């Protein structure tokens, strides 16, 4: 399999987070409508997704471009216990260690350079404010003045958009239940921010041009919830082939998307649980039952320590998830995740 790095530029807010399993679903819909995008068609590759995934997608991560350090990708901090992330010496005073551990909890981001080699160094772990400051320093003067007065120092903001149910027959809010407003969360990235998505592709199924076409179409028509109202638009800036990351001293896997790990392959698992309450998209969103069965996953940033080094023989981990839909029995969810090799002192 080959690894590609897609660089996208958000053009509007997003109603749905850009997580790997959802990106996979959007790519499948593109292949369903255009049979020329996958060799042999989508059905053929879905049937063998258990043993031969044709594509595995990461979640989207912020890209920082700085004059001194070049490109840096902001990944979520590894979900390791504090004692495995602590930088302080074990023989320092207990109060000092506790203070350092408290500060460590605020650091939500891990910067990785273009070579994708993970290093748990003090200057690689950043808080929201520190990441914003790094991004702010790389902006042109006009945008710097615009963000100088920002009270919330984050590279993305979550706002709430008001909605209300409409009676399509009368064009009003109706009489039953009448005016009943509700809000939905939207994710707005700072203007100019670029995001990176990694895709592992099987060259027997598709090539770079087909991958570009699928992603460009998703950006044009919108990603996720409320795409019909203008949310989820983005522009594909770049698509380039990357070397698969290696680390001879690695003993752990750091995941880049939500995943469902294999059973009995890992001696230690460190992760935050993430429940995907999925629903069908496109025309199946209007089916008798548009909702999928919930799937409990390990969110991106999980760290799995394998029992056997054979796990490192392939660039992804996890498994496909079946039996998630009543209206589309052949539906499958991406329980796979691209991982970066990591050395953990356990």
Nearest-CA neighbor of 242 among 51, 120, 112, 344? 112
Q: Residue 20 has what pLDDT?
A: 94
Does residue 297 sit within a domain? yes
Handedness of CA 151, 79, 298, 116 (dihedral sign): positive
pLDDT, tens digit (0-9, with 9 covering 90-100), for 106-143: 889 999 988 888 887 777 888 888 888 888 887 777 76
Highest mean pLDDT among 1-15, 64-78, 182-196, 316-330: 1-15
319 Cβ contact partners less than 8 Å away, ≥ 6 residues apart: 50, 260, 261, 262, 335, 336
Does residue 181 sit within a domain? no
Tell which wins on pLDDT, 66 or 331.
331
pLDDT, tens digit (0-9, with 9 covering 90-100), for 234-283: 999 999 999 988 888 888 999 999 999 999 999 999 999 999 998 887 77
pTM (2 decimals)? 0.89
Token digits of residue 133: 């400051």
313 Cβ contact partners less than 8 Å away, ≥ 6 residues apart: none
Mapped onto helix, strand or coil, the DSSP state of residue 320 is coil
CB-based contact 35:46 (threshold 8 Å): no
Token digits of residue 96: 């000092």
Does residue 307 sit within a domain? yes
Q: Residue 228 has what pLDDT?
A: 85
Does residue 88 sit within a domain? no
Does residue 294 sit within a domain? yes
* Residue 224 Cα distances to 58, 163, 168, 230, 255, angstroms: 16, 17, 23, 10, 22
CB-based contact 8:217 (threshold 8 Å): no
Does residue 112 sit within a domain? no
Q: Residue 284 has what pLDDT?
A: 77
Q: Residue 76 has what pLDDT?
A: 93
CB-based contact 339:253 (threshold 8 Å): yes
CB-based contact 36:207 (threshold 8 Å): no
* Residue 199 Cα distances to 32, 57, 222, angstroms: 19, 5, 19
Q: How far apart are CA 181 and CA 177, in angstroms?
A: 10
Q: How far apart are CA 78 and CA 254, in angstroms?
A: 7
Nearest-CA neighbor of 196 among 10, 1, 2? 10
Does residue 173 sit within a domain? no
Mapped onto helix, strand or coil, the DSSP state of residue 80 is coil
Does residue 69 sit within a domain? no
Q: Helices (H), strands (E): how many in the chain?
A: 7, 17
> Residue 267 sits in which domain range?
246-346
Total domains present in the chain? 1
User: Mean pLDDT over residues 53-81, rounded?
Assistant: 89
pLDDT of 183 strictly over 90: no
Average pLDDT over the chain, rounded to an integer? 86
């Amino acid at each position: 399999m080959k690894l590609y790095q897609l660089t996208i530029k958000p053009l509007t807010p997003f109603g749905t987070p850009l997580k790997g399993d959802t990106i996979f679903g959007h790519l499948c819909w593109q292949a369903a409508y255009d049979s020329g995008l996958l060799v042999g068609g989508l059905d053929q590759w879905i049937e063998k997704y258990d043993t031969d995934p044709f594509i595995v997608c990461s979640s989207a991560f912020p890209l920082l471009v700085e004059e001194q350090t070049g490109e840096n990708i902001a990944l979520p901090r590894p979900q390791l216990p504090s004692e495995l992330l602590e930088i302080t010496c074990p023989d320092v005073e207990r109060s000092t260690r506790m203070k350092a551990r408290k500060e460590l909890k605020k650091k939500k981001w891990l910067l990785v350079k273009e070579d994708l080699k993970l290093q748990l160094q003090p200057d690689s772990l950043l808080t929201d404010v520190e990441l914003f400051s790094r991004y702010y320093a790389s902006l042109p003067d006009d945008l710097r003045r615009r963000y100088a007065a920002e009270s919330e120092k984050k590279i993305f903001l979550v706002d709430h958009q008001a909605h209300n149910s409409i009676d399509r027959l009368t064009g009003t809010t109706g009489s039953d239940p009448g005016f009943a407003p509700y809000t939905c969360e939207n994710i707005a990235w700072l203007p100019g921010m670029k995001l990176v998505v990694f895709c592992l592709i099987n060259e027997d199924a598709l090539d770079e041009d087909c991958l570009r076409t699928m992603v460009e179409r998703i950006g044009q028509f919108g990603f996720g919830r409320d795409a019909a109202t203008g949310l989820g638009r983005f522009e594909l800036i770049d698509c380039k082939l990357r070397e698969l990351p290696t680390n001879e001293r690695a003993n752990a896997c750091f995941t880049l998307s939500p995943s469902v790990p294999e059973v009995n392959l890992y001696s230690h698992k460190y992760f935050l649980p993430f429940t995907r309450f999925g629903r069908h998209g496109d025309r199946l969103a209007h089916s008798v039952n548009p909702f999928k069965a919930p799937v409990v996953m390990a969110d991106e940033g999980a760290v799995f320590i394998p029992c056997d080094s054979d796990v490192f023989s392939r660039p992804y981990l996890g498994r496909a998830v079946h039996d998630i839909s009543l209206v589309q029995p052949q539906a499958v969810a991406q329980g796979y995740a691209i991982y970066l090799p990591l050395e953990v002192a356990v």
